[in-house]
A and B are shown apart, each in its own frame.
Chain A
Amino acid sequence: MEKIPSSEITPESVYLSRRRFVGSLGALAASALLPSGLRAADRFEELRKELTPLKSITSYNNFYEFSTQKEAVAGLSQGFRTSPWTVKVSGHVRNPATLDIDDLRKKFPQEERIYRLRCVEGWSMVIPWMGFPLASLLKIVEPTEKAKFVRFETLLDTKQMPGQGASWYSWPYVEGLRLDEAMNDLAILATGLYGNPLPPQNGAPIRLVVPWKYGFKSIKSIVKIELVGSMPISLWMRAAPNEYGFYANVNPAVDHPRWSQSSERRIGEFFRRKTLPFNGYSEQVAHLYAGMDLRRNY
């Protein structure tokens, strides 16, 4: 093993300031020079200091398939069968496929993404997901020219998911993205959390994570991904169209009848924080909505 002379070892303070320098360079001019993934990875690292404890992430869940009480979901979902599990990718694609969850994990390299999660109810977390870009999967199935939107569906199984007995919701849970949103590098399919496979209450075995949108867009326990030509109607759009739109981008300027969207409480913190436009991911996603009236397209 080669020895590095002590004169060449970078002191920690210099290392840190250098990183900061590179970071500011990146913010200034690198959008054309560096692949966006690299810049994004740097951003994710910044959030590592703010990680929400695993216990909070796994004990406070909006997963109405099990219960409308966030603190009850973890207990009710413990026996949930996530193997065998397949995800059917179909619709306007050249290579429709039904993929086994284990194959998906092997086929696509799993990477860690530390994202903010902002729930429409005014609370937020910082979560270290494991997963892969949704775009990687979409590239393999090759959407055709007719594909304009991606429609996602959760498992429908009233035996395992008692909440699906509630007739005032249109089960199964459906969510959707515009194709360009789905192709954005920030949109991932997550299979893990804190380096371990996803627990059932967090959407095992595979879920969507779109960090610039309210949490309900990040559909859990996915069994179907369909490329479609027209805008999918999500469960929440059906349940309360005046409250939940298709886009559901985190936006402090667009009000909700119940919760303040201008600020949020980060789980574990006492003081509220200002909510950031696009949940702090404007740089990566704001261009997707150029020219759109986001007050109307909420």
Chain B
Amino acid sequence: MVWLKRAGLPILAHAGALTPLALLIWNFFHDQLTANPIQYITFRTGKTALVLLVLALACTPLNVLFGLKQAVALRKPFGLYAFLYAALHFVTFVGLDYQFDPELLKEAIFKKRYALVGFAAFLALLPLAVTSTRGWMRRLGKNWKRLHRLVYLAALLAVVHFVWLVKSDVREPLAYGAGVIVLLALRLKSVRRASAKLREKLVGKQGECRQVAVHEDLR
């Protein structure tokens, strides 16, 4: 039971992150990808990548502000899954939709701003996925954390990509944008200090101790 308690959250996270892919495969074999499957796969993988990116960004604040330590361990899998879906999204667009047509790709890069920022977001995620291993963490030392701040940029670019893709109704992309901005704001020093003070008042000294440790972790 203790095992389940400890492993429960990661299992849930892995299962949750793989479900969209499983569904996509199921829908593929059951002819449920609409009359325009390539475009539909592009939408679905892109949306899933963004959701997972938001979840990855939520892990640290969940720990810092609410003391949910287990969330920290989920940051890496969420980030990697986000990259997996972003890669599927990118390959579907470039390979299946545009079929590596140089003219179309040139047009996408130079004329389609949405494609350009989408591509930039993907490029920002790429080194993070590569350096996600323990070995790279050790090798990069302090710079690892610096490098991995690129995820903030990737998330913002992904939101802009989404905003520029919708016709007129920007509610959904802006909701994601608001989520990302809140999650980034929670990382500001002033916000963290305020929350630490609040926690101090609420939980007393014990909380303060923990807060210091958490501060270190966040840096």
Contact = CB atoms under 8 A, between A and B. Distances in A.
Contact of B165 (A166, A239, A258, A267): A258
B169 A166 contact: yes
A240 B34 contact: no
A130 to B, nearest CB: 21
Contacts of A68: 167, 169
Nearest to B32: A71
Contact of B36 (A166, A255, A265): A265
B166 to A, nearest CB: 9
Interface string B88-127: 0000000001110101100110011110000000000000
Contact of B35 (A166, A257, A268, A272): A268
B38 interface: yes
Contacts of A257: 112-114, 164
A56 B35 contact: yes
A59 B164 contact: no
19 contacts: A55-B35, A56-B35, A60-B34, A60-B35, A70-B34, A70-B36, A121-B39, A166-B169, A168-B169, A255-B111, A257-B114, A258-B164, A258-B165, A260-B108, A262-B103, A263-B101, A265-B97, A267-B35, A272-B99
A272 B101 contact: yes
- Report, as a range, how many residues of chain A touch the other chain: 20 to 34
A263 B104 contact: yes
Contact of B168 (A71, A169, A260, A271): A169
A240 B35 contact: no
B34 to A, nearest CB: 5
Given A258-B112, A260-B108, A123 B36 contact: yes
Contacts of A239: 167-168
B104 A262 contact: yes
Nearest to B96: A270
Contacts of A268: 35
Contacts of A59: 34-35
Interface in A233-280: 239-240, 255, 257-258, 260, 262-263, 265, 267-268, 271-272
**A-B pairs with lowest CB-CB distance, top 10:** A60-B35, A56-B35, A71-B34, A239-B168, A267-B35, A123-B36, A168-B168, A60-B34, A260-B104, A255-B111
Nearest to A243: B167
B153 to A, nearest CB: 23
Nearest to A70: B34
Interface string A117-144: 0000101000000000000000000000
Interface string A51-81: 0000110011000000010110000000000
A67 to B, nearest CB: 11
A121 B165 CA distance: 11
Contacts, number: 55
A116 to B, nearest CB: 15
Given A123-B39, A257-B112, A268-B35, 14 more contacts: A166-B169, A168-B168, A239-B168, A240-B167, A255-B111, A257-B113, A257-B114, A258-B112, A262-B103, A262-B107, A263-B101, A265-B36, A265-B97, A267-B35
A123 B111 CA distance: 19
B99 A267 contact: no
Contacts of A272: 98-99, 101, 104
A168 B165 CA distance: 16
Given A56-B35, A60-B34, A258-B112, A271 B169 contact: no
A55 B35 CA distance: 8
Contacts of B40: 71
A258 B168 CA distance: 12
B36 A60 contact: yes
Contacts of A258: 112, 114, 164-165
Nearest to B107: A260
A71 to B, nearest CB: 5
A61 B169 CA distance: 17
Nearest to A61: B35
Contacts of A71: 34, 40
A68 to B, nearest CB: 6
A240 B168 contact: yes
A128 B41 CA distance: 28
A172 to B, nearest CB: 16
Interface in B138-181: 164-165, 167-169
Contacts of B111: 255
A99 B124 CA distance: 60
Contacts of A255: 107, 111
B38 A265 contact: yes
Contacts of B103: 262
